[in-house]
Structure 1
């Protein structure tokens, strides 16, 4: 079964279990769109998915978790716990994300900040530049530059 078909089945099941008709959900979407999604003839964008979830009084993640659960033959709990573990591994589970896509720092800036932080931590621990270089396996010139660099906001 495709994810589109799983989403369609979950949407129809949820709508019916809540006693809603396609027409009653059509306040923010037209009934034709809902019908096409439920029949699996139409894929949804995230915006449409959000509107459908709101009409069902659900978070979009709950609706998607149910659809992925059905498609992958795993429980919604397994889907959500796996997703949470992945977000925690990325250290993003407890952070608010920027609202604008362009506000993310380039990877080279992130890497440079991490190197600076590592050097400063070793400096604060009382290590010498030579000891920090060996511990971090960085070139001497890089450690020397980062050792004296003051962080700019």
Structure 2
């Protein structure tokens, strides 16, 4: 009997040290930042230059350099003089983390969608030419939680609960 009680006490002590694995605990650590699909699909716009908040990947194509601002968009620089890049514009693309460029076509992964854009550096104009919906899975939280968005909601980022 004493061994059973002792074993139960040891198990109880160790189990209190283990991380809970239920969704409630994970949801309390991070909260998804959501956009309705209708808003999300109209969210890519050119804006004036702005400071980088959280830099990601860098892509250079010709005289242009693109620096990702993770889950925010891309800073576009004139890179004709690599010693003195000049910030031109910001491509606001909520949920975006990467891009690729072939010829004059920019491919952006914007959260769950693959967006095709033509960008004219001479006129500094951008046109969205195609959007392939739900190519990528919903964004997961930094601790691996998938979230539970409604049918027309897109997770564009995760914020830490404080």
TM norm structure 2: 0.18
> Comparing both chains, which one has the higher relative contact order based on Cα–Cα distances under 8 Å and sequence gaps of 6 or more?
2
- Computing the radius of gyration from Cα coordinates, the structure with the larger value is 1
> Higher helix fraction: Structure 1 or Structure 2?
1
